Amino acid sequence: MRTITLLIVHCSATPQGVALGFEDCRRDHILHRGFRDIGYHFYLTRDGEIHRGRPLEKTGAHCLNHNRHSIGICYEGGLDAASCPADTRTREQKASLLALLRELKRIFPRALIVGHHDLNPAKACPCFDAEREYRGL
């Protein structure tokens, strides 16, 4: 198994009212980004369903210079109806994300939980302060 030091939270940068399901995201990553599969290890749709992307033992494609030692988790959303960055997580997504992060911290207790923005300040992603919100896990 890879050494995991980071659990990186992302958003799909999808506006409210626009759907980007798991298979849509996977297809976009393959067709438009040239990936072999979706870049994330987990994808949370607005209904709170957790979809498995890349296997944990495989390196993701979600955060430049940090993929080899991280797990990428993305929630559908992150933009308001005007396409401005916003925390658009539904109650279901918040509950699923918390449960998933708790389980991943059980498996990788030393891993830090961060948002994409914490590693690349030019990005607004995940459009909320993941490091602060999940600091106590």
Q: What are the tens digits of pLDDT across the range 68-102?
A: 999 999 999 999 999 999 999 999 999 999 999 99
- Would residue 72 count as lying in a domain? yes
| pLDDT band with cut points at 50, 70 and 90 for residue 2 | confident
- Would residue 19 count as lying in a domain? yes
- Would residue 70 count as lying in a domain? yes
**Domains of the chain: total:** 1
Residue 75 belongs to what domain range?
6-133
- Record the pTM: 0.96
Strand 50-52 and strand 42-44: the pairing is antiparallel
- Would residue 53 count as lying in a domain? yes
- Would residue 1 count as lying in a domain? no
Q: Which residues pair with 79 in a beta bridge?
A: 15, 85
Q: The CATH number of the domain where 59 resides is what?
A: 3.40.80.10
The DSSP line for the chain is: -----EEEEEE--EETT----HHHHHHHHHHHH--SS-S-SEEE-TT-PEEE-S-TTS--SSSTTTGGGEEEEEES-EE-TTS-B-----HHHHHHHHHHHHHHHHHSTTPEEEEHHHH-TT--TTSS-HHHHTTT-
